[in-house]
Amino acid sequence: MPHLLHIDASARPGIAGTDNHGSHSRHLTDQFVRQWQSGHPQATVTYRDIGQNPPSIINHDWIASAFTPEERQEPWMKEALAESDQLVDELIAADIVVIGTPLYNFGMPAALKAWIDQVVRAGRTVEFDDSNPIDPYVPKLIDRERHVVVLVARGGVNMSPGEEMAHMNHLEPHLTTALQFMGITRIHYIAIEGQEVGGELLAASIAEAVGKVEVLVDELQMAFRDAPIPEPA
């Protein structure tokens, strides 16, 4: 049974369509998880609301600890990495990661960047091969097929990769690079655009995104049905 990690990064706690000034990205993650669970009543979900409880920003102690080989880490170093270890464990345990995120100031919210900084970990999610100085990065999350579904909300329009205003949007390229760096290559993006425009344009974008989420859940459920996750021996 595929395990879900559900992450919400919006600073707005409510859900658009339900709560006043609610979040559009939370609306889409809520739809995804509800639909997923209605098809898989026993599906397990880990939830992280990083919008309301952001991960810590990495500091000097964190860096010193993360780049010390595990066998030489002192107790304070293990303590400095405890939060990171927890977040990495959650990522490794997931078959599907559903991330709801706004576009803030041309990129990902600080809370999502803080999560990325905590989970990109030498020895846990990526290795370094010193014999290849040009490209020493060896992703570790290639042990099984993981999908990441990124459900985005933004105020402007025409900002998907390849569109006229894409140069104002570094969220998708940045997130894709970070996920691929760890070995996750099955990445799906769906966006609601025009939150700042409102009216019919926003309504049409919401309807389109809701339809795409519905189709994606069906496709992923079918994919996992056709290629079930091997049970541990």
**227 Cβ contact partners less than 8 Å away, ≥ 6 residues apart:** 145
Is 31 near ligand FMN (CB under 6 A)? no
Binding window for ligand FMN (CB under 6 A); candidates: 79-87, 99-107, 132-140, 207-215: 99-107
Nearer to ligand FMN, 80 or 192 (CB): 192
Name the minimum Å distance from CB 166 to ligand FMN.
Answer: 11
What residues are paired with 151 via a beta bridge?
100, 190
Phi-psi region of 45 (alpha: psi -120 to 50; beta: other; left: phi over 0): beta
Name the minimum Å distance from CB 15 to ligand FMN.
Answer: 9
Kind and range of the H or E run holding 14: none
The answer to whether residues 76 and 131 touch, using CB atoms and an 8 Å cutoff, is no
Unique residue bearing structure tokens 């799906």: 188
Nearer to ligand FMN, 12 or 147 (CB): 12
Is 6 near ligand FMN (CB under 6 A)? no
What residues are paired with 187 via a beta bridge?
148
Kind and range of the H or E run holding 151: strand 147-153
What is the Cα–Cα distance from 206 to 187, expressed in whole angstroms? 20
Nearer to ligand FMN, 55 or 102 (CB): 102
Is 149 near ligand FMN (CB under 6 A)? no
CB atoms within 10 A of CB 226: 7
Among 156, 208, 221, 224, binds ligand FMN (CB under 6 A): 156
Nearer to ligand FMN, 96 or 159 (CB): 159
Mask for 182-221, x = binds ligand FMN (CB under 6 A): -------------xx-------------------------
Among 13, 54, 155, 183, binds ligand FMN (CB under 6 A): 155
The answer to whether residues 154 and 193 touch, using CB atoms and an 8 Å cutoff, is yes
Q: Applying CB under 6 A, which residues contact ligand FMN?
A: 10, 12, 23-26, 102-106, 153-156, 159, 195-196
